[in-house]
Structure 1
Amino acid sequence: MHFLVLNTLNSHTATPQVNVQDRAFNYGDGCFTTMYAYNRCLFNYSKHISRLVHDTSRLRIYLDVPLLVNKINDLLLTSVGLDNEAIVVKIHISRGLGGRGYELPVKAETMVSISFHKTTAFSANSIASIYRLKMCSFPLSSQTLLAGIKHLNRLEQIMAKIELADTQDAEDLILADQNGNIIEAISANVFLKVNELWLTPSLEQAGVSGVMRRLVLEYFAAQGIAYKVTNISAEHLMSASSVFLTNAVKFIIPVSSYQNHKHESVAYNNDVLSDIANGIFTASQSDCKA
């Protein structure tokens, strides 16, 4: 297993070179995870490692977990620019070099890229009070073999970002599958409250099973908060009293409206959503690698 490291916080760090024969470059043959860190502390550390283990196993990519963990630990201790800073740590895993066409190489050498990027420190006070959603014009493809995995084939999300740039009065788009079932936002999972029951979409056909989504479901179960993982329609979003998105870097994002239908969850003025956000942040911080 080989490593490439990019620290964008240090201007003196050389940019690593990627071989054009890398299967991630040619075929998107790999997966990744994106982690929030503050002052050299990686939040939700064990869940991110668990996700990488799950996804590489599904894709049949070799991952030496102890070696990866040791490398992350070493970088956290020695890298420049991490003290008292909020950063995004991206771990990108490729099957490696070679293979003719789609055929796998006889002996694949997994390539792991780890990069550091500056971000804004999480604070409930910094969350925008206006975060509007609209429906994306095209559906996500359904593929049960890849559903839930954060694989490297993200062209649908890129096309959604292009559409969002041309969309007025929206900060994000909701993506549905070919059957009209709500799946996710562009880079976040979705939760909504309908008749005192929290709902989140089933991801058996498409979508990314996010680390923060998993944490919210665990929090709901621990707190005795009623929830259900199920198929969700656009009508559910229209009738929801509260909606929020989850993302490993932004934690919880309250939604103010969907298709101009306003929700109660404006910023953290909603007491229930505020409790959830504080609980999730505390749980994320407790699962920390420093």
Structure 2
Amino acid sequence: MQSWVDGHPAEALSIRDRGLAYGDGLFETIAVRGGRPPLLEYHLARLAEGCRRLAIPLDLPLMRTELLAFSAGLGEGVTKLMVTRGEGLRGYAPPPVALPRRILQGAPFPTYAQANAEQGVQLFPCTTRLAEQPLLAGLKHLNRLEQVIARAEWQGSEFAEGLMRDQAGRVIEGVFSNLFVVIDGVLVTADLSRCGVAGVMRAALLDVARAEGIKADVRDLPYDTFLAADEVFLCNSLFGIWPVRSVTGHHWSVGPLTRKLQAIARDLLDI
């Protein structure tokens, strides 16, 4: 598949790039259908917030133009967009003047079992805990070692995703998805002000809930509260919504709000 670096086709990157050396940058995983990225504005908003917090001076209009052109050429698949601080000398200190690097990589859509969406998935209870770092919380930065370690905890197809908690045991998210529960008719997702990734599908579903008059809340989600929920589902910008049917012997049925939002998510993603 094709790849671009700073707006031009390329297959190589400088070994002095700070994204490689220190994870000094951000990324977005973007679904492309019919030559366009359906959740473009959500992706760009998160990227802009990440660049603001990391003080990376990204030219956002240029990034938008390149992303749209790249997506048109890709047609169908997944675009991984990476923005690094650019090249630097040895050492943690960032260069006085950053020259950000823009990287686009195309890939086919991953293959997921249809049963994941129809019947729901089983979660693996990861022992890896997310560290609290409010400065980075919510961002999709390039250092994803916690997720790499967590994903290595299980093999095979029995578990479609892993459940990740923070140091206090609160439920936060999946390894590569966000998590929602329904409690007494209220749609609830975890507070990500300490850790976790604020996914674009999560943001879109919260906006949908407001538009549809669905009560929604962002708050801490203790493990016992999670287990007592009426419905549980995962979401991300590639697969939409997967109901959760079980974790560590606890079972849920696929509920009506999950099914309603699942249909809306399909429309949002042009699935």
TM-score w.r.t. length of structure 1? 0.85
1:54 offset after TM fit, Å?
0.8
Deviation at 1:233, TM superposition (A): 1.4
User: What fraction of aligned residue pairs are identical, expressed as a percent?
Assistant: 29
Within 5 A, what are the aligned runs for 1:94-133?
Answer: 94-119=84-109, 127=117, 129-133=119-123
Whole-angstrom distance in 2 between the partners of 1:182 and 1:272: 20
Describe the shift of the 1:5–1:171 C-alpha distance in structure 2 as closer, same or farther (beyond 3 A): farther
Q: CA deviation at 1:124?
A: 7.5
The whole-number CA distance in structure 2 between the counterparts of 1:123 and 1:213 is 21
Query: Which is worse superposed, 114-123 or 272-281?
Result: 114-123
User: 2: CA distance between counterparts of 1:156 and 1:212?
Assistant: 21
* Pair 1:139-2:129 in alignment: yes
1:275 partner amino acid? K
Task: State the match for 1:70 in structure 2.
Answer: 65
Aligned to 1:18: 13
Q: Decide whether aligned partners of structure 1 residues 274 and 124 sit closer, same or farther in structure 2, where only a CA change above 3 A counts.
A: farther
2:259 pairs with 1:274 = yes
Gaps of 5+ in 2: none
Q: What is the aligned counterpart of 1:161 among 126, 130, 151?
A: 151
Shift of 1:120: 5.3
Deviation at 1:4, TM superposition (A): 6.1
Instruction: Note closer, same or farther for the CA distance 1:259–1:123 as it changes in structure 2 (3 Å cut).
Output: closer
User: Which amino acid in structure 2 is aligned with residue 50 of structure 1?
Assistant: A
Secondary structure at the residue paired with 1:209?
Answer: coil
Question: Taking structure 1 as reference, are residues 42 and 123 closer, same or farther at Cα in structure 2, changes over 3 Å only?
Answer: farther
Cα distance 1:148–1:5, how it changes in 2: closer, same or farther (>3 A)?
farther
Q: Secondary structure at the match of 1:249?
A: coil
Moved segments of 4+, more than 3 Å? 120-126
Alignment of 1:96-245 (within 5 A): 96-119=86-109, 127=117, 129-165=119-155, 169-245=158-234
**CA shift for structure 1 position 224:** 1.1
1:160-195 Cα deviation digits (max 9, x unpaired): 0100228x8422211111111111110111001122
| Structure-2 change in CA distance of 1:123 and 1:174 (3 Å) | closer
Counterpart code for 1:199: V
The one-letter amino acid paired with 2:263 is N
Q: CA deviation at 1:74?
A: 2.5
SS of alignment partner, residue 229 of structure 1: strand
Q: Flag the 1:126–1:192 CA change in 2: closer, same or farther, 3 A.
A: closer
Secondary structure of 2:257's counterpart equals helix
Alpha carbons of 1:122 and 1:50: their partners in 2 closer, same or farther (altered >3 Å)? farther
Report if the CA contact (8 A) 1:5-1:115 is conserved: no
In 1, the alpha carbon distance for the partners of 2:158 and 2:242 equals 17
Cα distance, 1:220 vs structure 2: 0.8
For normalisation by structure 2, the TM-score amounts to: 0.91
Q: Give 1:12's aligned residue.
A: none
- For residues 239 and 94 of structure 2, the distance between their equivalents in structure 1, rounded to whole angstroms, comes to 37
Using a 3 Å threshold, how does the CA distance of structure 1 residues 68 and 120 change in structure 2: closer, same or farther? same
Provide the residue aligned with 1:30 in structure 2.
25
- Distance, in Å, in 1 between the alignment partners of 2:227 and 2:116 is 26
Contact 2:132–2:194 (Cα < 8 Å) also in 1? yes
Aligned residues: 267
Q: Does 1:90 align with 2:80?
A: yes
**CA 230–280 in structure 1, closer or farther in 2 if over 3 Å, else same:** same
More moved, 61-70 vs 114-123? 114-123
